[in-house]
Chain A
Amino acid sequence: METGFDAGRPVRVSSFNGIDIFVVNTDKFKTSSIHFFFQDNLTKENATKNALLPAVMRRGSRAYPTLRDISMELESLYGASFDCGVTKKGERHVIHFYTEFLSKQYVPDGTDTFAEALALLFDIIARPALADGRFSGEYLAQEKENLKIRIEGRVNDKMSYSVDRCMEEMCRNEPFEIYDYGSVEDLAGITADELTAHYRTMIETFPMQVYLVGSITDKEAEEVSGLLSGLPRRNTITLRDSFSRKEKAEVRHVTETMNVTQGKLCLGCRTNTAPGSDEYPALMVYNGILGGGIHSKLFRNVREKASLAYYCYSMLEKFKGLMVISSGIDIGNRQRALDIINEQLDDMAKGNISDYEMEATVKNMETGIKSLTDSQINIVDFYLSQTISGTDDDFVTIMEKIRKVTKDDVKAAAQRIVPDTVYFLTAADSTGKQ
């Protein structure tokens, strides 16, 4: 067992009506935070509405009817923060509302920051500003426009855009191809009545996880349970798993053109390793050796040796079972970079892994996992991800599993990897330019 290191496992303090409340009690932070998550299955029908909902809700509640009222309250609360949004985790769509505020012991005038921040957050969630029983037409219209800008704005960050597009191309005709923020087509027709009905669906039927992090007393946790037990909950929906296999594939090549200077090359693969399986830790180590940092094969060969790129890494999409290798290169170097990347994949499948690569990877993963415990949002995200993948690891057990992984396990994980899609974002004039 680890000593001097807190596994940080949250305590589930109550569970009712499809709501689970967890507490992570620690006094090492100067702030505390409250997180509410609502989970839905990722579907075309709901995705855009799920994205639009928090955007409209953050505009105002009954007690704080405008954005300005909310901002003033946050400033008065010693610069507390509040935000909300959506992300997809595999084929789950997660709506997140949170507030972070200075813990009581650091507040000079004794303000009960927990009570005030909770009151604000709960008001935004449970008592939205409605007119005639529905969301304001004005707020709706503005946030539809803002969401449209956001969806269209995907192209602005070429690095994340290229990775997302690669995964979407891999998952055509699967729910995972749906963008976190939905689509412009689906957005146009959403009415105030529909969105209000969808709000009720979320409040009543989406499974809910609540995390309280920081210096949290029993009484405060009870306050939260008390408030949430007043929500009109019924018929909580059943969430499905995301993971899928694809053990054979002919590699597809997708090229997209844009007015860019640098090309973005992505290679998407299926991992065929389920997040809850005994083999998953070996896949994590595999990814670390291949492209998880400065000791990795991709960094050393594509960047340091061939001098082709500033960045080249691989990342896992745990829930769906995907891996993407991503790099920014000179447009003319596409084939050379791809050849070097493929050589690294072959090397891994042959089990050509040095002691240095193995050791450095495992150590770096340990450091990474321990470091998660220094950030409230990282702690929450780690444990929320556990509930989504149906696993029950904490920071200590996951490290123990990683340490037990052998080179043979990594080789086996490598042999389950199936390259699926090569995505290249390039200039319209493909000769490249400087």
Chain B
Amino acid sequence: MDFRKIEYEKAGEVLYSYDHPSGLKAFVIPRRGYSKKYAAFATNYGSIDNEFIIPGETNATRVPDGIAHFLEHKLFEQKDGNVMEKFSMLGSNPNAYTSFNKTVYLFSCTDRFDENFRLLLDYVQNPYITQESVENEKGIIGQEILMYQDNPDWKVHFNLLKALYEKHPVRIDIAGTIDSISMINRETLYMCYNTFYHPSNMIILAVGDVDPESVFGMVECAIPHSKPQPPVKRLYPEESAAVHRDYIEERLAVSIPMFQMGYKGSFYGEKGIELLMYETAVKLVLELLAGRSSQLYEQLYGEGLINSSFGTDVSVEKQYAFSILGGESPDPLKVKERFLSALEDAKKDGLDRPACERLIRAYRGRFMRQFNSVERISHSFITVYFKGVSMFDYLDVYDKITFEYVNEVLHDHFRPESLAMSVIRPV
């Protein structure tokens, strides 16, 4: 059988890849000496894919919010019982998660990898959903939704997304709402499954002390050699470059105000490598302005306006992009004011070049460090893969990114009209 081996000498890593006739791609990243073996079966389908045109049809289909996550829960159900029990008997830990743009099924084990792997391939391809079990699941997911309602970190983040976006489904909670999930039934679940779980929309990744040839051999046998399905046309509403609302505040049982402020990104390229480049540049600007080694961080910390919970984050996808600064603060609006003033100074005087180089050096080290953990490798690989690139392309980005480009992004991304803020205050 045919598969490729790509060596990344700088990282001391090897990636094996295999193209299945159905259009499915499979990958192996070996980890010699590790006890844990890990595999993921992921589909390029997440909570934002709530409106689409099914291949072969002409009309758009709109599905209830939270259905991708609901489907993730229901896939564990099999004709002969819950698949989790079978994994348990093999001593492994199955899990799954749904994000804005992917659903990932995974397990980690230390022994009997082949049996676990075949089980993963089998259950994800064979849904068995009954209306009774759908109703039962509504209680469980209902409690999951309520749990997040009481989680201030989650709340402050989703309120920011609600402020940034007017229509784009990234503003909707991944699990949906108690109301939206009440409309989910067996038929809609199967319809979403049939649309988005075709092998050509999916990837498989194994990480650990495993043999690539044997992994790909199992993939070849377990996945039907059907023809690739044409891509699903996904419909996302037009979003303006400006924010929907510039401020949202809510009161919860917290001890100190929490905040997130963020910028909504507009055009930043289409190719995967451009996404990584843009993401890295936005991240650099945030850290140069307000990271732990910045003057602003030192001042705000010294004045008690921020504490060690303060941090920055960036998310860049084909459909949307945003950057975030946030944490706990007795006076979030003051932090915003001070950040904006540092931003204005940087726009006038330019960024700090030696600091930028030092940070890129740090990014190289942090990139390498993620290879310590099979979970982090997997998460990072899948996330980047669905952008149309490979996680190893970050090494190229760190080589090629220029100080001039970072300065350009400083002016392009951090615009006043694309800034919103979310604050949670104590009751």
Contacts and interface: CB of A to CB of B under 8 A. Distances in A.
Interface of A: 5, 26-31, 66-68, 71-72, 74-80, 100-102, 106, 108, 138, 142, 145-146, 149-150, 152-159, 258-262, 293-295, 303-304, 307-311, 328-330, 356, 359-360, 363-364, 366-367, 370-371, 373-376, 434
B15 interface: no
Contact of B255 (A156, A304, A375): A156
B136 A307 contact: yes
Given A145-B304, A152-B256, 11 more contacts: A26-B33, A28-B32, A68-B297, A76-B362, A79-B362, A102-B365, A149-B255, A149-B256, A152-B255, A307-B136, A307-B140
Given A258-B253, A310-B141, A328-B143, A71 B293 contact: yes
Given A28-B34, A374-B34, A77 B365 contact: yes
Interface in B1-21: 10, 12
Nearest to A258: B253
B84 A295 contact: yes
A330 B143 contact: yes
Interface stretch (B147-155, B236-244, B315-323): B147-155
A142 B304 contact: yes
A303 to B, nearest CB: 6
Contact of A68 (B32, B85, B153, B298): B298
B419 interface: no
A72 B293 contact: yes
Interface stretch (B46-54, B184-192, B371-379, B383-391): B371-379
B358 A72 contact: yes
B292 A374 contact: no
A138 B303 CA distance: 10
Nearest to B137: A307
B102 to A, nearest CB: 21
Nearest to B144: A310
Contacts of B308: 146
B140 A364 contact: no
A329 B143 CA distance: 7
Given A29-B372, A102-B369, A153-B256, A367 B92 contact: yes
A362 to B, nearest CB: 8
A294 B77 CA distance: 13
Given A74-B362, A303-B140, A293 B150 contact: no
Interface residues of B, number: 73
Nearest to A8: B35
Given A26-B33, A77-B365, A363-B89, A156 B143 contact: no
Contacts of B255: 149, 152-156
Nearest to A150: B307
B139 interface: yes
A154 B256 CA distance: 11
A330 B253 contact: no
A367 B109 contact: yes
Nearest to B138: A307
A31 to B, nearest CB: 5
A74 B291 CA distance: 13
Interface in B234-278: 252-256, 258
A359 B86 CA distance: 12
B372 A31 contact: yes
A421 B361 CA distance: 52
A77 B361 CA distance: 8
B56 interface: no
Given A29-B372, A356-B89, A367-B92, A259 B427 contact: yes
Contacts of A150: 307
Contacts of A146: 304, 307-308
21 contacts: A31-B372, A68-B293, A68-B297, A68-B298, A75-B362, A108-B364, A146-B307, A146-B308, A153-B255, A260-B253, A303-B140, A328-B143, A330-B143, A330-B146, A360-B91, A364-B92, A367-B108, A367-B109, A370-B110, A374-B374, A376-B372
